[in-house]
Amino acid sequence: MRILIIEDDEKISAGLSKGLRQESFAVDQAFDGIRGESLAKINDYDAIILDVKLPLQDGFKTCMNLRQDKILTPILMLTALDDVNDKIKGLDNGADDYLAKPFHFGELLARLRSLIRRNSKVRSTVIVKYGISLDQNTHRALREGKEIMLTAKEFSLLELFMLNSGRILSREMISEHLWDMNFDPRSNIIESYVKFLRQKMDNGFSKQLIHTVRGAGYMFSENAE
């Protein structure tokens, strides 16, 4: 999943980015409201972390502009002021949740995941499809009761496939969700991760679930097209 952090404090932004990447999120950063608004409009994010006090354009204005332009990505606003009126203003401008600084990273992570789940068509934290069970909270994957040991990135890739079962996912769609702006489209990293995931998922099973659609991308399905 891909997150946009709009925060002018480089130390806080770097800490958030590091923590989220360790949790297998792809992360983009902006350090002012204008740049953040631009990135939010041209990229597909699963959630946005938005600071209130930003140069060029504050978080309230940035949030309001995004909502006026029908950008419905969940927004978690951050502020150094634990003020009720400040929170009300943020929520009235379209934010989905609010967190006052200083905060514990674990709480931010829990709130972020809650926003993403709330925005998803899949309400349960456990996805089940074609004999695969994927627990989004514990990051455990099972196939017909047998545990599949996955890296964080492999788990995120399988999660993306399962949430879009029966739909062709192009390399561009996969990279937009799982990698940040530094992704090199000329690399074969997506092909490598798909290969690793297939090897782990299909070990001991006769039916392949991730199919290559020549010239288009990949599809998660019980039946090859």
Q: According to the model, what pLDDT value does residue 225 have?
A: 56
Please provide the CATH number assigned to the domain covering 126-220.
Answer: 1.10.10.10
Per DSSP (E only), the strands in the chain are 2-6, 26-30, 47-51, 75-79, 97-100, 126-129, 132-135, 140-143, 146-148, 168-169, 210-213, 217-220
Model confidence at 11, in pLDDT bands (50, 70, 90)?
Answer: very high
Q: Which amino acid is at 83?
A: D
Mean pLDDT of 181-191: 82
Look up residue 56 and give its amino acid.
L
pLDDT of res. 64: 95
**pLDDT reported for residue 218:** 93
Average pLDDT over residues 104-125: 80
Cut 0.85: pTM above it: no
Structure tokens that stand for 156 in this block: 């995120």
Per CATH, which fold does 2-119 belong to?
A: Rossmann fold (3.40.50)
Q: How far apart are CA 41 and CA 105, in angstroms?
A: 26
| CA gap 28, 48 in Å, rounded | 10
pLDDT, tens digit, 9 for 90 and up, residues 30-71: 999 999 999 999 888 989 999 999 999 999 999 999 999 989
Every domain of the chain and the residues it spans: 2-119, 126-220
d(CA 149, CA 4): 28
pLDDT band at 122 (very low <50, low <70, confident <90, very high): very low
